[in-house]
Amino acid sequence: MIIFRTDTPLGRWFDICLIASIIGSLLVLIMGSVESVSQRWGTQLNYLEILFTALFTVEYLLRLYCSPKPWAYAKSFYGFVDLMAILPFYIALLVPNAHFLGVVRLLRVMRIFRILKLVQYIQDSNVIMRSLWNSRRKIFIFFSMVAILVTIFGALLYIIEGPENGFTSIPTSIYWAIVTITTVGYGDISPVTTLGRAIASLTMLLGYSILAVPTGIITAEMSQEVKQQKKVYRDHRDLVMCPNCMKNDHEPDAFHCKHCGSELPEHEERVVKITGKTGDYD
């Protein structure tokens, strides 16, 4: 099957076409929202949109047809995303006023994940994902802390500043606190009174410092992952073979074969070779 495998030349060519048409259809959608563009090129963009939707429909039906279990595919996450990429177009044909559905098609951007999954970035993507997954509890606790801080500081500024300075309600004040604690700082709402500014300064300094917590969490996990990767390689140095002279036993930081000087495979590929797993978790 061409469309499900990526290691044949035809499969790879198919993937490149697919990724190009996904990005193309996204560009059509994005440009169509700019008024000056849509007034001038509206018809052409519409034709392109029809073309891309037709392509994706054919691809969807082919996948359904070729899949050994069509229903399992249709119910899977990727099946759902693939359907969402074409369905809004057909609904818009039936229901005239469903203009807002057009933007749902932007979810096509998630189809890019399917492509990324197939190609060679798997290993690195997994290091990131595994780090995030391992620290999911710490991240949850961190966000609970942020939620509590934001509620307290938002309420404080609601009392101190009051509606006349833009803090019209507690939800608005919590929005201000989030804008401040994440150091975004739009400036649409900002404290005016002296006490309000003092409390706001405290909020900023807190936000500035606790930014270190998620960084620390992710970095600590990621350091372990990188070290683990290097250790795995070191323990199995006899398994890496020079593609030129066929000798092995290379140092973990070697980029060139010490016997003949030709380039060695990339670090990530070595690990895959040694551990025999591509790090594919789902």
Min dist CB 66 to a second copy, Å, is: 27
Residue 199 sits in the site that holds a second copy (CB under 8 A): no
Closer CB to a second copy, 164 or 253, in the complex:
253
Residue 230 sits in the site that holds a second copy (CB under 8 A): yes
Min dist CB 280 to a second copy, Å, is: 14
Question: Could you give the CA distance from residue 243 to residue 262 in angstroms, rounded to a whole number?
Answer: 8
Residue from 45, 74, 87, 218 that binds a second copy (CB under 8 A)? 218
Do residues 247 and 241 touch, judged by C-beta distance below 8 A? yes
Residue 275 sits in the site that holds a second copy (CB under 8 A): no
Look up tokens 């919590």; give the residue.
174
Residue from 28, 85, 118, 217 that binds a second copy (CB under 8 A)? 217
SS3 content of the chain, % helix, strand, coil (to 5): 75, 0, 25
Give the closest residue to 181 by CA, choosing from 217, 215, 143: 143
Neighbours of 93 (CB within 10 A): 9
Min dist CB 102 to a second copy, Å, is: 9
Q: What is the gyration radius of the CA atoms in the chain, in angstroms?
A: 26
* Binders of a second copy in range 34-63 (CB under 8 A): 34-35
* Binders of a second copy in range 92-131 (CB under 8 A): 100, 103, 106-107, 109-110, 112-113, 116, 121, 124-125, 127-128, 131
3-state secondary structure of 5: coil
DSSP code of residue 130: H
Q: How many residues form the binding site for a second copy (CB under 8 A)?
A: 91
Min dist CB 49 to a second copy, Å, is: 14
Give the closest residue to 76 by CA, choosing from 178, 153, 4: 4
Do residues 73 and 63 touch, judged by C-beta distance below 8 A? yes
Residue 278 sits in the site that holds a second copy (CB under 8 A): no
Min dist CB 35 to a second copy, Å, is: 7
- Token pair of 32 as six digits: 């169509």
Give the closest residue to 15 by CA, choosing from 24, 26, 6: 6
Range in contact with a second copy (rule: CB under 8 A) among 56-64, 89-97, 149-157, 240-248:
149-157
* Binders of a second copy in range 59-88 (CB under 8 A): none
Min dist CB 167 to a second copy, Å, is: 10
Min dist CB 40 to a second copy, Å, is: 14
User: Is 100 buried (19+), middle (13-18) or exposed (0-12) by CB count in 10 A?
Assistant: exposed
* Binders of a second copy in range 3-32 (CB under 8 A): 26, 29-31
Residue from 24, 254, 268, 274 that binds a second copy (CB under 8 A)? 268
Question: Could you give the CA distance from residue 170 to residue 272 in angstroms, rounded to a whole number?
Answer: 52
Do residues 217 and 138 touch, judged by C-beta distance below 8 A? yes
Q: E-assigned strands of the chain?
A: none
Residue from 47, 71, 77, 186 that binds a second copy (CB under 8 A)? 186
Min dist CB 241 to a second copy, Å, is: 22
* Binders of a second copy in range 159-178 (CB under 8 A): 159, 168-172, 174-175, 178
